[in-house]
Structure 1
Amino acid sequence: MFLIFGLRTRVTRSAVVQQVCRHCGHQAAQVLTRRSTKFSLFFIPLIPVRTRHIQQCTFCAAEYPVDRAEAEHLMAA
């Protein structure tokens, strides 16, 4: 009997907001993405392992993590 298991990460774009970049200091569009990693068994995602929110500047392409509360605030705005 074979067991096929692993981790699968799914990336979804949550929002695009205009903000000043923390890295370069320019006013530019910031893309907020959600990366959720799930444990999968026989190619079926079952158990969520980790969820991260990442904000990326479209001017300098710098990425930095955003906590959940700030991500929800940015999506509501």
Structure 2
Amino acid sequence: MIIFGTKGYLYQLAILTLVCGHCGNPSAHTLRKRVTKFTLFFVPLFPFSTKYATQCTFCGAEQQITKEQAEQLQAQSAGGGTPGPGQGQAPAQPYGQQNPYQH
């Protein structure tokens, strides 16, 4: 008898301040990566699905995003180090109905 199946893993990549496209509030959003792996005898072997999403911590709305968008947001959260004098946190950026990452 062969036992196989799938198992999901959820990784939190970053926490960003964005304007929610659902509720319109500037709030913290978690950037998450969900990986689904094929398992054989309860041993995860290889990933066959990877999805990225942001979730508003104010209203709970979740939006699926592409890998490229997730990498851009993660790079933005890293921000290049500590802000110098006169520099603060990056301003809130909208997301939701309009996609600011498409040209």
TM-score (norm 2): 0.71
**Structure holding more strand per residue:** 1
The residue that corresponds to 1:76 in the other structure is 75
The AA in structure 1 aligned to 2:44 is P
The residue that corresponds to 2:46 in the other structure is 47
Which structure's CA Rg is the greater one? 2
Q: Unpaired runs of 5+ in structure 1?
A: none
Q: How many residues align?
A: 76
The AA in structure 2 aligned to 1:42 is F
TM-score (norm 1): 0.94
Percent pairwise identity = 43
Q: Unpaired runs of 5+ in structure 2?
A: 77-103
Question: Structure 1 runs of 4+ off > 4 angstroms?
Answer: none
Counterpart of 2:23 in 1: which secondary structure?
Answer: coil
The residue that corresponds to 1:58 in the other structure is 57
